[in-house]
Amino acid sequence: MAGAFSVYGDPGNTKQGLQAGAPLRISFDMKHIFASLALTLLTLPVFADQRVPTSQTEVQLSFVPLVQKATPAVVNIYTKRVTQARRNTFMEDPFFERFFQSGPREPRVQNSLGSGVILTSDGIVVSNYHVVGMATDIRVVLNDRREYTARVLLGDEDSDLAILQLEDASDLPSLDLRPSDEVQVGELVLAIGNPFGVGQTVSSGIVSGLARSGASNGNGRGYFIQTDAPINPGNSGGALIDMSGRVIGINTRILSRSGGSNGIGFAIPADLVRAFVEQADAGNDVFARPWAGLSGQTVDADMAETFGLELPGGIVISGMHPVSPFQSAGFQVGDVIVAVDGLAVNTPSEMVFRMSVAGLGNTSQVTRVREGQQDTVPVSLIAAPDMPPRNATVLGRRDVLEGLSLAQINPAVINELNLQLNAKGVVVVDPGPVAVRVGLRRGDVVARVDDTDVSSPQDVARALQDAGRWVRLEVIRGASRVQLRFRI
């Protein structure tokens, strides 16, 4: 097949032997044109084999291979929990609530949803504690619509992590955990979860920050990876993955005034998840983290010169419990901790994270600065001692404050209730239905009943039995002393 087209010469151009205004005829072979076009199309990326992107250019083309690899191991979690709700409609009003504390209660079923990540082929799943904690029924739905019931093996409200076991599960897709210290700011990441219950959703972004320890809310002890990948309610417990499909974190919360994603989301680092899985495999149902037994604050620019530091950073020790492992290792108030196991720490939460990852029973190499001199000291990682015995006591039906739960203060109790390191005596573990109405709270340290000093749960019980018509309690709440007066 042949074709031709005409080109008319320039009237002023006669040097090429063309007659001015005469048409120039050019012939060509259409088969050559079609062959060249087909060859060009075959070289375009749309015809290339799909695979995980390996360069920035390829990433810009598509996340499809990566999503296909990761999404089967991210699950939707549906939970039910039964709560006791008061029937009085005024209970919803903050002002009237205190007047109806003893109102009749009725069971209420609360439904919630979240996400999780399968870590092993036999059904070990990680999610957030706030998704599955206290749930009476947990249902896990895979991307291919298979459903499993699940039970909690280990949960921790402070870290907001929970490890689940799917019942009768095998040969499941799973994702690997990536060491947290390899993650760098600027890396491309995908967040996978079930936001708002609309179904599995993937959003993209970058790692926008590391070691975010001031972003916690509720009871969480914050140490997070920050990302701008959109995270919304329902994403909790889902995966934050890198470009190789490995989990770098578990999505847990967002920073927002409106309740929607504003581009600042937080994920729990994979190293802490690995520590949870190891303790669950060992049979623990409560996460045991090492106890530092000290208080401290971040060294800022104004303090750095005072402590002989070239740059601001680290934690200056402001207080230590007498049985703290740091005190046993020779640390003193005023020492600055700058690293744990060779990794810099700048906040107490960051130090607790490093110790938790190292694990109980091990020894961490802690770098300190004292009077301008730096050295490294081994510190044994131990649990908070539960000595002397806590002598847990619950007041009975014949007592003035029925249901009040008390305990003797020791390091374990200080750690559990987040008390001051120098706290002594007896503490309220649970005020119960009566004492809560007179103003007692969990964590209150009872110092005096009427004119009687008390130092044990038994002292409190006896003093209340001997009280008159009016009772006066003096409690230490944080750094304040509070007096509560009520009539029997």
Cβ pair 428, 443 in contact under 8 A: yes
Most confidently modeled range among 13-17, 54-58, 258-262, 310-314: 310-314
Query: Do 136 and 239 belong together in one domain?
Result: yes
How many whole angstroms separate alpha carbon 286 and alpha carbon 279? 8
Query: Do 102 and 239 belong together in one domain?
Result: yes
Last residue of a domain, one of 380, 404, 438: 380
pLDDT of 446 strictly over 70:
yes
Is residue 258, in this structure, part of any structural domain at all?
A: yes
Mean pLDDT within 40-51: 50
Q: Residue 280 corresponds to which amino acid?
A: A
Burial 362-384 (b: 16+ CB within 10 A, else e): eebebbbbbeeeeeebebebbeb
Answer with the residue of higher pLDDT: 333 or 87: 333
Query: Do 266 and 299 belong together in one domain?
Result: no
Q: How confident is the model at residue 234 (pLDDT cuts 50, 70, 90)?
A: confident
Catalytic residue, from 115, 127, 203, 236: name it. Answer: 236
Structure tokens at 258: 């409106």
Give the model confidence (pLDDT) of 95-147 as tens digits. Answer: 445 445 555 556 666 676 889 999 999 999 999 999 998 888 999 999 899 99
> How high is the pLDDT of residue 60?
58
Least trusted range by pLDDT, from 12-21, 22-31, 61-70, 202-211: 12-21
Query: Do 162 and 146 belong together in one domain?
Result: yes
Query: Do 410 and 459 belong together in one domain?
Result: yes
CA 327 to chain centre: 30
Query: Do 404 and 283 belong together in one domain?
Result: no
Q: Is 204 assigned a catalytic role?
A: no
Could you tell me the CATH number of the domain that includes residue 482?
2.30.42.10
Residues in the chain: 488
Catalytic residue, from 127, 130, 203, 364: name it. Answer: 130
> How high is the pLDDT of residue 7?
39
Give the model confidence (pLDDT) of 379-411 as tens digits. Answer: 999 999 999 999 999 999 888 899 999 999 999
Is residue 30, in this structure, part of any structural domain at all?
A: no
Is residue 325, in this structure, part of any structural domain at all?
A: yes
CA–CA distances in Å: residue 131 to residues 284, 289, 291: 20, 21, 26
Q: Is 130 assigned a catalytic role?
A: yes
How many structural domains does the chain have? 3
Residue matched to tokens 């490294």: 376
How many whole angstroms separate alpha carbon 185 and alpha carbon 384? 35
Query: Do 134 and 171 belong together in one domain?
Result: yes
Least trusted range by pLDDT, from 197-201, 212-216, 234-238, 269-273: 212-216
Residue percentage of the chain with pLDDT more than 70: 78
Cβ pair 435, 428 in contact under 8 A: yes
Catalytic residue, from 115, 127, 156, 160: name it. Answer: 160
Q: Which residue range is the domain that position 189 belongs to? A: 68-287
Most confidently modeled range among 81-95, 214-228, 233-247, 258-272: 233-247
Q: How confident is the model at residue 260 (pLDDT cuts 50, 70, 90)?
A: low
pLDDT of 198 strictly over 80:
no
pLDDT of 205 strictly over 50:
yes
Query: Do 339 and 275 belong together in one domain?
Result: no
Is residue 420, in this structure, part of any structural domain at all?
A: yes
Least trusted range by pLDDT, from 12-26, 65-79, 209-223, 289-303: 12-26
Last residue of a domain, one of 322, 353, 380: 380
Q: How does the average pLDDT of the chain come out, rounded?
A: 83
Last residue of a domain, one of 347, 380, 413: 380
Is residue 439, in this structure, part of any structural domain at all?
A: yes
Supply the Cα-derived Rg of the chain in whole angstroms: 32
Is residue 63, in this structure, part of any structural domain at all?
A: no
Could you tell me the CATH number of the domain that includes residue 104?
2.40.10.120
Query: Do 278 and 400 belong together in one domain?
Result: no
Cβ pair 23, 8 in contact under 8 A: yes
pLDDT of 293 strictly over 70:
yes
Query: Do 299 and 437 belong together in one domain?
Result: no
Residue percentage of the chain with pLDDT more than 90: 58
Answer with the residue of higher pLDDT: 37 or 218: 37
Query: Do 261 and 362 belong together in one domain?
Result: no
Is residue 2, in this structure, part of any structural domain at all?
A: no
pLDDT of 24 strictly over 50:
no
Query: Do 362 and 461 belong together in one domain?
Result: no
pLDDT of 42 strictly over 70:
no
How many whole angstroms separate alpha carbon 450 and alpha carbon 395? 18
How many whole angstroms separate alpha carbon 176 and alpha carbon 117? 10
Mean pLDDT within 229-258: 86
Is residue 24, in this structure, part of any structural domain at all?
A: no
Mean pLDDT within 274-299: 93
> How high is the pLDDT of residue 106?
60
CB neighbour list of residue 108: distance below 8 Å, 6 or more residues apart:
82, 83, 84, 85
pLDDT of 188 strictly over 90:
yes
CA–CA distances in Å: residue 142 to residues 74, 108, 175, 232, 360: 7, 28, 14, 20, 34
Answer with the residue of higher pLDDT: 477 or 469: 477
> How high is the pLDDT of residue 222?
60
Mean pLDDT within 426-434: 95
> How high is the pLDDT of residue 347?
86
> How high is the pLDDT of residue 215?
45
CA 229 to chain centre: 16
Written as one string, the DSSP assignment of 40-96 is HHHTSGGGSPP----SHHHHHH--HHHHHHHGGGEEEEEEEEEEEEE--GGGGSHHH
> How high is the pLDDT of residue 461?
93
Q: Is 236 assigned a catalytic role?
A: yes
Mean pLDDT within 61-83: 87
- Beta partners for 366? 340, 377
> How high is the pLDDT of residue 148?
96
Most confidently modeled range among 39-53, 185-199, 361-375: 361-375
pLDDT of 285 strictly over 50:
yes
How many whole angstroms separate alpha carbon 62 and alpha carbon 50? 9
